Amino acid sequence: MDTILFLGTDTEVIPNLIHYYYKNSKDNDSFLKAVNSACKDLKGSYAIEVICKDFPDTMIVAKKDSPLVIGTCNNENYVASDIPAILSYTKNFYLLEDNEIVELYKDKIHFYNNNLEEIKKEIKNIEWDATSSEKAGFPDYMLKEIYEQPNSVRETIGSRLKIGEKVNFDDIYISKEYLEKVNKIYLVACGTAMHAGLSIKPMLEQLCKIPVIVDVASEFRYRNPLIDSNTLCIFISQSGETADTIAALKLAKLNNSKTIAISNVIGSSITREADYTIYTHAGPEIAVASTKAYTAQVTLLALLSIYFAETLGNDVERIENIKKEILALPEKIQSILDNVSQIESFASKVYNEHDIFFLGRGIDYTVALEASLKLKEISYIHSDAYAAGELKHGPIALIENGITVIGIITDPSIIEKTISNIQEVITRGAKTFIVTNQNLNNDNYNEVIKIPSTDAMISPILSVIPLQLFAYYISKEKGLDVDKPRNLAKSVTVE
């Protein structure tokens, strides 16, 4: 039979193809053979579970370039696209590789390669507590996950950081000789994970003195990027299953770059592709809007930046202070979470707006981008983030009487500049909501949220928290489904 080319997501062609092979087969294991033959014809990515009325106790499962896990416990087996989906049933998982095929019964599982030779697979025990994938008294997963951040940051720091000692990344081996040869570092990811990369770029560059490029995975993979064996490519993905990020990683490997994956999910696809993996320990993130993954990613990347700088022998004086500030983060996040009424009240005043703009400079601009994404994805309010200095190059034309502008002002070295940009929008009638760790004259603004100070390089881990809450409360005011916004999936496993 000729190869069939599927365009789009015409999955219904697959059962027809399986049926074609099934009809022509006379063997007892005809169901398994039919699915395997069909899979050999398929082009592109897929993850399938197949049932057949002639084999009521059997399910055949196969995948290629799409995630699929099998959970197992006493006389019960489960199939899902990711671990959190079935975590409340089991902690024992088989992680399926491409071109493997599985025969699943209620109480037994057989794994085969695509020549239908039986193979053995190891069970992976996932340490996540089942209750960590429940709401635990919170009305939504998103709010629960926002409130988990003191702990998820603490867990991500773990034993990597102790005062007076070098940061510990014994789980990856990056030598001084290698780092001295690195010509640039790429941070590649999508959405919020990409914003984590943007937020850490200044720190990584300044501590390591190596150029850092942050790229969107879907652009990187088609850009023909200038990378070689002296380029270090770091891929960030909470789920570890984002199709574009995985494809970008494969491209970097083809170009002989060293690759590091940063993921929150043990054994996820990205971790199996990369040369090295380091994990954020945020626990399962269920809400589509990513919150605790971002702060955990920035924390881990900050530690990694220090590790590289210490390995290179750079900038030791500032590093000691940043280390102290990293250890103080969980408590400072908690103090923000203990005072949310002001944020909730401002959200209740502006939830009906059509447009909300975010402004910031430098590292604050990276938080503006993340805050704007959070707001638009769960509130459906149009929102954009601008580097404050860019206002007069176009965006200021959008500012009119009554419009809401959120300013982020944490970096003392550019505070006056940002204040002057915010003044420009106030003059044109904007309502302003400011997130800052500075002592500003509150009378100038409609609302000022004061957050604790920290080293400017890690300030996004604190300044993002009120803005996650702002997006959350706006979505609640509008009566929307905070955890499952329209048109979005938690893991984007297709292009």
What is the residue-wise DSSP string for 117-178? -EE----EE----GGGGS-TT-SSHHHHHHHTHHHHHHHHHTTT--TTS----TTS---HHH
Asked if 69 interacts with ligand M6R (CB under 6 A), we say no
Distance of closest approach, residue 85 Cβ to ligand M6R, in angstroms: 14
Q: Which of 50, 188, 190, 329 binds ligand M6R (CB under 6 A)?
A: 190
The two beta strands, 101-104 and 109-112, are antiparallel
Smaller CB separation from ligand M6R, 238 or 454: 238
Which of 191, 330, 360, 407 contacts ligand M6R by CB under 6 A?
191
Query: Whose Cβ is closer to ligand M6R: residue 241's or residue 310's?
Result: 241
Q: Which stretch binds ligand M6R (CB under 6 A): 191-199, 304-312, 408-416, 460-468?
A: 191-199
- Using the minimum distance from each CB to ligand M6R, give the nearer residue, 244 or 411: 244
Residues numbered 227-286 forming contacts with ligand M6R, rule: CB under 6 A = 237-239, 242, 245
Tell whether residue 377 is a contact of ligand M6R (CB under 6 A).
Answer: yes
Handedness of CA 412, 414, 420, 426 (dihedral sign): negative
Q: Is 199 in the site for ligand M6R (CB under 6 A)?
A: no
Q: Which is nearer to ligand M6R, 239 or 418 (CB)?
A: 239
Identify which of residues 72 and 192 has a Cβ nearer to ligand M6R in the complex.
192
3-state secondary structure of 199: helix
Sequence-distant (6+) residues with CB within 8 A of 379 are 351, 471, 474, 475, 478, 480
User: Which pair of structure tokens corresponds to residue 126?
Assistant: 């996932």
192 binds ligand M6R (CB under 6 A): yes
Comparing CB distances to ligand M6R, the nearer of 132 and 242 is 242
Total number of residues that touch ligand M6R (CB under 6 A): 16
CB of 92 to ligand M6R, least distance (A): 23
Residue 157 CB, shortest distance to ligand M6R, in Å, is: 20
Number of helices (H), then strands (E), belonging to the chain: the values are 15, 19
Specify the amino acid at residue 123: I
Closest to ligand M6R by CB, 152 vs 421, is 152
Q: Hey, what long-range contacts does 260-264 have (CB within 8 A, 24 or more apart)?
A: 260/172, 260/232, 260/233, 260/234, 260/235, 261/234, 261/235, 261/237, 262/234, 262/235, 262/236, 262/237, 262/297, 262/300, 262/301, 263/236, 263/237, 263/238, 263/239, 264/238, 264/239, 264/240, 264/293, 264/296
Q: Does 288 bind ligand M6R (CB under 6 A)?
A: yes
Residues 141-180: x/- map of binding to ligand M6R (CB under 6 A)? ----------------------------------------
Please compute, for residue 301, the number of CA atoms within 13 A of its CA located in the half-sphere on the CB side: 38
Contact criterion met (CB below 8 Å) for 458 and 367: no
Locate 216 and state its tokens. 């969107």
Examine residue 492 and tell whether it contacts ligand M6R (CB under 6 A).
yes
The region of 15-23, 84-92, 186-194, 435-443 touching ligand M6R under the rule CB under 6 A is 186-194
Rule CB under 6 A: choose which of 286, 289, 326, 408 binds ligand M6R. Answer: 289
What is the separation, in whole angstroms, between the first and last Cα of the chain?
Answer: 28
Residue (372 or 437) nearer to ligand M6R, CB: 372
Binding status of residue 383 toward ligand M6R by CB under 6 A = no
Query: Between β-strands 184-189 and 231-237, what pairing exists: parallel, antiparallel or unpaired?
Result: parallel
**Residue ranges that bind ligand M6R, judged by CB under 6 A:** 190-193, 237-239, 242, 245, 288-290, 373, 377, 491-492
